[in-house]
Chains A and B, each alone.
Chain A
Amino acid sequence: MPDLPLQALAAQAFTGLVLGGIYVLMAIGLSLIFGLMTVVNFAHGSFYMLGAFIAFTVIGLTKSFWAALILAPLVVGALGFLVERFLIRRLYGRSPDDPLLLTFGLSLAMVEGAKLIWGKIGLQVDPPKQLAAAVDLGFMNFPVYRLFVIAVTAAVLVALWLFLAKTSVGLVIRAGSRDALMVRALGVDLNRVWLLVFGIGIAMAGLAGVLAGPMRGVYAEMGVEIIIDSFVIVVVGGMGSLAGAIVAGLLMGEIVSLTTFFAPKLAELIIFIVMAIVLLVRPSGLFGEAGLAE
């Protein structure tokens, strides 16, 4: 193919990286919560949606995207604390289907609640002025805001890794996801750890929503759309595996983005096809351990 538009292809690959970053933020939270608590959070996408809407409101009040970038994930994370403490905690020890069902109901209520508060019509969020331009990468022009999204994703991942690998709380979290009973026997109050992990995971979903808003628009159904993609990524990466969430998230971002370029009609289908292939070849996912929570 002599006329292959290399620049457009490179731009698409970069866009894939951005989409992959959003996917990774979603899938890591989902996987972290699952790995520690065996809770599949159907409402994860709705917290992503809520992050985007709260950012819209904060920007309206303060005129500052930066305030929204900090505040919205915090507010969403705080709501996550409440949901864990007062709803999900009641279901520990019951079938793992029950938290999934509960968060499904929560998700319905949140989508409808968002429509009541912010209306049924999609809203637009502009990227901050400082990031509104495009930068010349040498081979093409690329919106600065999208580079910023990649940078924030990378920074959050590094911070999360440092937290899990280097702090004593992180040690408890890792131990708790290996053997919760043993950690309890050692006298650690896992309830507080679960609360914290749920809040962190939810805050990351909120952050993903804030970041996605200026690129993909803000509307009530945005969360349900991304939660299905996130489930697929977690299945492909291996549930409970953070490395799997990162690799599968970036991979799916690229695959979706490049498919949009070469075969737009397949773009919405491709992740399911990849999932089916992974299930055939490696049923436990790319990085999954067979038998986890089965």
Chain B
Amino acid sequence: MKVGIIGTGFMGVTHAAGWAQTPAQICGFCAETTAEAAPLAKQYHSKIYTSIDEMLPEVDVVDLCTPTFLHAEQVEKAARAGKDIICEKPLALDVQTAVEMLAVCQKMGVRLFVAHVVRFFPEYAKAKAIVDSGKIGRPGTIHLRRCNYRPKKTVGNWFLDEQKSGGLLLDLSVHDFDYARWIAGDVKNVFSKKVSSMDPEAPIDYALTILTHENGTLSHITGGWAYPPPNFQTGFDINCDRGNIHWDSAETDPVHVLIRTDQDSPDVGLVGSHLIESPYTTEIKEFYDAIQNHKEARVTSVDGMKAVQIAAAARKSAECGEPVMIDSMKGEAA
């Protein structure tokens, strides 16, 4: 299997490390400039491509580690070239685009995987397994928390541009929208409040979203770019009628480093995992296996589309101040 990676930011670096742990061959990297792609190309003894068109004839799989606003065009190109695709989350900026992306992949008979990496973090995967075992019963309420700091200026500052990233709800909370759906099933109704919707000048952003699932479960999603760097806290509570699961990153961190440093915090907060295998590598290995052996992965393209759907409903709710039914979003997609 020959893989080409597009985008060489922190996610390109992370995915490349994952691919290196599989039998697949990394053919090369493509970035906005050859200078950006050069270090990874050198590290993995592979090529620098100056465009996706130049890369496509030489690879079997395209891994898109690019900003969200570029996904649609790149997925379409790769699909039309008959390549299987890994796409970073969120799949697309809006539901309509996501649906079209799924359609083109289906039409061209290529596979599309959306990198919702949270499903591959062992604490999240284990909690899902406990719920699925049925031994703690049915989820009544779920809390999912994810808060770090505002991403610093990256290339083109696309993270902070709502038009390019979809903002906090689509870029960060989408992880937990997907996880909530994985645990409690499809979502019926979404209500969200967001600091930047109330005060566009706010130096931080923070959003609280209540999801009502079709089975009645209530999920509360906290997403924030509000803490001073380098703080990043995640956590969840899954409260079921026969038991509860609680996890908090701050409480279970096995290592606390209290060392003076002049080092600056990273541009974008990432959770440290203290694991032998990075969850990103677990993810890439599973996608590799799914493609190679024609198997399902734990996250499908439909999951990726539905996560966008919930995020879109949350963004709409935060703007209009009213709850938004997911059914109404389906209407927009059709």
* Chain A complexes with chain B: no
Seen from chain B, the residues whose Cβ lies within 8 Å of a Cβ on chain A are none
